[in-house]
Amino acid sequence: MLRIALFIATNIAILLIFSIAARIFGLDQWIYQATGTNYGALLVWCAMFGFGGSIVSLLMSKMIAKRTMGVQVIDQPQNQTEAWLLETVRRQSEAVGIKMPEVGIFPDHAANAFATGASRNSSLVAVSKGLLQRFDEKSVEAVIGHEIAHVANGDMVTMSLLQGVLNTFVLLFSRIVGNIVDRAVFKNEDGNGIGSFLASLVAQVLFGILASVIVNWFSRYREYRADEGGAQLAGKNNMIQALRNLQREHMPAHMSDQLAAFGIQHSNVKNLFATHPPLEKRIENLEQRM
């Protein structure tokens, strides 16, 4: 969940910064004069900004993850646990044919892990202290395998492409809403006054949240593949055991938004925004497909 939440939040923030900067420096006005109500031309500009925001989010993903989560990258192992962690990541990355990711540990009591990065060969795999302290080595190896599978499958890049498409339409529709509000409420004939700008920003946030439903649906789909990849790297039984460990450690009624290595959310109210499928479905998928 962590990498997806950070990516979505960064993406929305960057789009807002782009929009505000475009207004301040007059680019917004220039685009309006160049496109007017020509939505085809406006779509092209929105695509440029939309994919630009997504690409910047992807490029910044490692840096933001390190700073936000307090990740301490292991350059030289200081103890046996760090040495084992580096060796496990090295062995698994070689098995799937990717360059050795950066490896780090972050201070979280919850059993947690994530992978992020701009490409398969420029990635970061990080695990929490809680995961290392309470899970046995075979379960930790399975969790790492799950994250390595995300990297090998190119999930962050694929997610960025999807987010770029969604950004395009978020910007387009928010601009249309802003234009309508400016004309109808603020009686601005050209529909490009301050009312349009403010309404566009509000619509951009709202449409961005709605777009995250699609991103999270895609994320849930990719989790099954990452589980299968983790099972291939660390063993099916170990992958299933890791998921069962999470079930025992976190009862559904007490699961929070910042949960665990696979960040599952069981609340029906939050299902649309869940980044991962329920643990029982993931276990069932491994038992049936492998």
pLDDT in tens, 46-82: 999 999 999 999 999 999 999 999 999 999 999 999 9
Tally the domains of the chain: 1
For residues 166 and 215, what is the distance between their CA atoms, to the nearest angstrom?
9
Predicted confidence band of residue 269 (pLDDT cuts 50, 70, 90): low
Both structure tokens of 190: 């050209």
Residue 21's CB is within 10 A of a number of other CB atoms, namely: 11
Instruction: Give pLDDT, residue 235.
Output: 97
pLDDT for 268 equals 57
What value, to the nearest 5°, has the Cα angle with vertex 178 and ends 177 and 183?
100
For 143-179, how does the pLDDT look when each residue is reduced to its tens digit (9 = 90+)? Answer: 999 999 999 999 999 999 999 999 999 999 998 999 8
Q: What is the mean pLDDT of residues 260-267?
A: 44
Tell me the sheet residues that pair with 114: 126
Q: Which tokens is 15 given? A: 């789009």
Closest CA relative to residue 157, chosen from 206, 183, 130, 122: 122
Q: What is the DSSP letter of 276?
A: S
Evaluate whether 100 touches 89 at the Cβ level (below 8 Å).
yes
- Residue 188: pLDDT band with limits 50, 70, 90: confident
Residue 143's CB is within 10 A of a number of other CB atoms, namely: 28
Q: Which of 41-45, 123-127, 281-285 has the lowest mean pLDDT?
A: 41-45
Catalytic residue among 102, 147, 223, 228: 147
The span from the CA of 54 to the CA of 48, in Å, is 10
**pLDDT at residue 44 is higher than 90:** no
Tokens of residue 194, six digits: 């301050």
Structural domain for 97, as ranges: 1-290
Q: What percent of the chain has pLDDT over 70?
A: 88
Distance CA 195, CA 186 (A): 6
* Residue ranges in 70-154 assigned as alpha helix (H): 80-96, 129-134, 137-152
Q: Are 62 and 119 in contact (CB under 8 A)?
A: no
**The residue to which tokens 């202290």 are assigned:** 129
Written as one string, the DSSP assignment of 228-245 is: HHHHHHH-HHHHHHHHHH
pLDDT at 186: 83
Q: Which residues contact 7 (CB under 8 A, 6 or more apart)?
A: 57, 58, 61, 116, 156, 159, 160, 163
Structure-block tokens of residue 270 = 């939050």
Model confidence pLDDT, tens digit, residues 192-208: 788 888 999 999 999 99
Is 94 one of the annotated active-site residues of the chain? no
pLDDT of residue 271: 77
